[in-house]
Chains A and B, each alone.
Chain A
C-alpha cells in the first residue's frame, strides 16, 4: 500500500515539477535552438538574452514595486480588518452577534456583482489608484469565520484570570489574544498575501494607467501580446533573439520565483491552515 502511495506521489510530483522545470530551462536556452513543441528537460545552449530584455524594462520593475506595495499594505489591512471583525464576534456580550454573523455569512453566498462593485469603487474615486486593489476585498468572510473559530478556542478562563489580575480589555487583546493568535494570523496573512501577489483581475478592471499595473497584470498583457511578430519589430535584441516564447518564459519565471522562495518558509503554516479553526473550541 505504502509503495502505491509513493508511486502516486512521485507521479504527482513529476506532474507538478516538470512544467515549472520546462519553463526555467526554456527561458535560459539559446533562441536558435528553441521553438517547436519539444520538452526542455535541460537548457539547449545557454543564453540569458530573454532575462536581459525583461529585467531592463522599467515597466516590469514598476509593476514589481506596485505588487509589493499591494501585497504588503493589502495583507496588513486584511489582517487588521479581519481581526477587527472576528474578535467581537467571539464576545458573548456583543448584542446582535448572531445577526451580524448571518449578515457576514450571506456575503459568502451572494455577492453584489461586478458591475455594482465597480460603480461603488468608481464613485469612491478609487479607479486608477492602488486603493482599488485592496479596499474592495479588504476582508474575506470565510477568513473571518476561520479566525473567529480560532479565537473562540482560547479558554475563557484565561481571559478571566487576566481580568482578575486587573487587566483591561485592550491589554487583554494586545497581550493575550493577539500573541496567542499568531499561528492563525500567519496562515491568514499567507493566504491573503498569496492572493494579492497572484491577483490580476482587479488590476485589469480598476487600473488604466500602466504605471500602476501589478506584476501579474503586466505578465498577462505580455503573454497575450508576445505572440505577435509586430511586437518585436524594432527591438534589435529581441529581433536577434527572434523568439518571443523565451521572453514569455522569462517573464513567468521572474513573476513566480519570489513567491516560490517564500513558500518553503511558510509551508508549516499552510499545513496548520488546513486544520486551524476547523473545530469549534
Chain B
C-alpha cells in the first residue's frame, strides 16, 4: 500500500514539474515577452517599410459637421479594427460623446484600459507577458517612471521618430524640438512623447487689481514683495472695512509652496543641483542660500504676511479663499485661473473685477516651477501594436488644439456657448447635468491625458489673463536649476528615503517658530541628513544615475 502511494506521489510530482516547466517563461521561446521585446518585428517597425504613407494628406480642420474624417484626410487605411489605449486614473463611460467621435474620426473601435498608477505595473506586466500590450500607453513620470524604463529596457516600446515625422504634424506644431529631444534615449532613439510639460508648471499669482487700488507696483524683489504683502494684510485692499485679507496664501505644506522664494534666494532644499565642480549635489548642502531664504520666510510668517495655517490648509481652500476675495497672492497650479474663473462665472462666486496676474520672479529668479521638468507623462506606442501608424494618428488627432477644445467642451451651440459679455466660452448647464460627475470628468480628463495640446481649453476661462497665457508658453524659461533624475523606483526610494519629508519638516518648523535660530536648524538638518539619511551615499547614487542616463554635460 505504502509502495503504491509513493509511486503515485512521484508520478504526481513529476506531472506537476512538467506543468510548471510548461508555464515557465524560458520554455516559451521566441514568443516570450522578453525576447519579443528585444526583437521588434519588422512589420511593426515604422522603419520596416510597411508604413503606408499618405503622400498628400488633405488639410484637416475640426469640422462640426464632420464632412471629412481625420483618417481620410491623412489618406491612411487602418490595418486593424480596434485600437487599444491605456490611460490613467480616470473612469469613463465607454460609448460617450467623445469616444464615439474619436472612433468615427479614426475609423476603428477604441478600447480603453483605464488604470490608476497603483495597478499600472501589474497590469502592464500581465499584458506584456501575453504579448497584448495596448497600442498606446501613457505612463505618469512621477509614479510610473520605472514602468517606462522596464518597458523600454525590455524592448517593448517602439522607436516613434519616423512615425512622428510622418504622421505627427499637429504634435510637431505644439511641441518644440527641445521638448521632444528631452526624452531621446541614450541609444539615440525616441520612445516616448512628452506630455505637456507646462501642465505641471506652478507659479505664483498676485492680485493686480489690489496692487492698483493700493497704488503699488508689481514687486520685483523679496523686499518689495514683503512691503506689498504688508499692504495686502493691513491696508484693506478689498475695501470692506474689515481686517480679513491674507497676504501670501500657501496650502498643504507642499514643497512647491515657497518655490518662488527658493528661486529668489537660489536655494534648492528639495532638489538635486549641479555643484561647482560639475557633479550633482543635493541643494540642501548649499546652506548659505537656504538659511537666507528660510530666514526671510520665518520673518514673513512671524509678521502674519503668510497665512498661519499654510501647513494644514486643504488643497481646495486656496481656491475657496480666492473666490471669497480674501487672498492677495498665492501659489497656483497652472489651472488656477481656470478654477477661479469657472467658480466666478458658473456659480456667481468671487468678484468679476478680480485680476490675477502671474508674479514675475523675485530678485531675478524664476516665476515658474516644475515638479518634473523633463516630463510629466510618457506617451508611447508599443511593439505589440498591430498598427503603430494608427496609434500615432490618434495622438496627432489629440494634439489638434480644436480637438482638445471639443474634448473638454463638446460642440458649440449644443454643449457650450460663447459669452460675448465676458468674452469666454461657457458650458451649457444641461450638458453638465446630463453628464454626471464621474462620466463627465472622466471624459475630459481621460482623453486629455496625453496633454499634447499646448493650450488646455483655449479661450475658455483664461482669456482675461494674458500674463497667465504667457506663463503657459514660457515653460522653457522655468526653474531649471533643479535636475530631474528619472530614476527607477527602487533607486528613487533609496535616493529619497524620507529625506524630503525630513527636510520639509525641519524647514516648516523653523519657519513657524520664530524663536528658532535658522542657521543652527539648517546646519543641524544637514548634519542629520549625512548621519541618518546617508546623504553621502545618495549623492553618489545620484551621480551614478546621472552618468547612466547621460545627464551630465
What residues of chain A have their CB less than 8 Å away from a CB belonging to chain B? 32, 35-37, 53-54, 56-60, 96, 98-99, 102-103, 106, 112-116, 118-119, 122, 204-205, 208-211, 213, 218, 220-222, 224-225, 227-240, 242-244, 247
Contacts and interface: CB of A to CB of B under 8 A. Distances in A.
Q: What is the interface of chain B mostly: helix, strand, loop, or mixed?
A: helix
B8 A96 contact: yes
A211 B93 contact: yes
A60 B445 CA distance: 18
A222 to B, nearest CB: 7
A233 B9 contact: no
A32 B323 CA distance: 13
B525 interface: no
A118 B9 contact: no
Contacts of A234: 342, 408, 427, 432, 440-441, 444
A237 B12 CA distance: 62
B505 interface: no
A151 B436 CA distance: 51
Contacts of A229: 315-316, 319, 333, 335, 339
Interface stretch (B39-47, B110-118, B219-227, B297-305): B110-118
Contact of B437 (A118, A208, A238): A238
A231 B118 CA distance: 18
B504 interface: no
Contact of B342 (A57, A115, A224, A239): A239
A205 B316 contact: no
B315 to A, nearest CB: 7
Contact of B89 (A35, A96, A225): A225
A235 B89 contact: no
Nearest to A231: B441
Given A233-B441, A242-B316, A220 B112 contact: no
B92 interface: yes
A208 B427 contact: no
Nearest to B13: A106
Interface in B84-102: 89-94
A233 B312 contact: no
Most buried by A among B113, B115, B432, B441: B441
A118 B122 CA distance: 11
A98 B439 contact: no
Interface string B412-438: 000000000000000101001000111
Nearest to A207: B113
A247 B8 CA distance: 58
A240 B346 CA distance: 9
Contact of B347 (A98, A118, A220, A236): A236
B93 A210 contact: yes
Interface in B299-347: 312, 314-317, 319-320, 333, 335, 338-339, 342-343, 346-347
B132 interface: yes
A236 B122 contact: no
B23 interface: yes
Contacts of A58: 93, 436, 439
Contacts of B12: 99, 102-103
A236 B432 contact: yes
B118 A224 contact: yes
Contact of B91 (A102, A119, A210, A227): A210
A59 B93 contact: yes
B189 to A, nearest CB: 28
Contacts of B132: 122
Contacts of A53: 436-437
A151 B241 CA distance: 82
A60 B436 CA distance: 11
Contacts of A236: 346-347, 429, 432
Interface stretch (B123-131, B175-183, B361-369, B482-490): B123-131
A158 to B, nearest CB: 29
A103 B13 CA distance: 9
Contact of B316 (A98, A112, A115, A243): A243
Contacts of A238: 437
B544 interface: no
A225 B90 contact: yes
A81 B8 CA distance: 25
B116 A220 contact: yes
Contacts of B338: 233
Contacts of A54: 437
Nearest to B431: A234
A114 B5 CA distance: 31
Given A116-B23, A221-B114, A222-B91, A239 B346 contact: yes
A225 B116 contact: yes
14 contacts: A98-B5, A113-B23, A209-B94, A210-B92, A210-B93, A210-B112, A221-B116, A229-B319, A233-B339, A234-B342, A235-B437, A237-B437, A239-B347, A240-B347
B16 interface: yes
Contacts of B116: 220-221, 224-225
B63 interface: no
Contacts of A218: 91
B342 A233 contact: yes
A66 B132 CA distance: 25
B9 A102 contact: yes
Contacts of A237: 437
A114 to B, nearest CB: 7
B441 A232 contact: yes
Contacts of A232: 437, 441
B91 to A, nearest CB: 5
Contact of A99 (B9, B93, B119, B347): B9
Contacts of B316: 35, 229, 242-244
B123 A204 contact: yes
Given A60-B438, A122-B130, A235-B441, 4 more contacts: A114-B126, A118-B126, A220-B116, A227-B315
A218 B436 CA distance: 15
B444 A233 contact: yes
Contacts of B429: 236
A231 B440 CA distance: 9
A221 B89 contact: yes
A224 B315 CA distance: 15
B442 to A, nearest CB: 8
Contacts of B444: 233-234
B517 to A, nearest CB: 29
Given A112-B23, A239-B343, A205 B94 contact: no
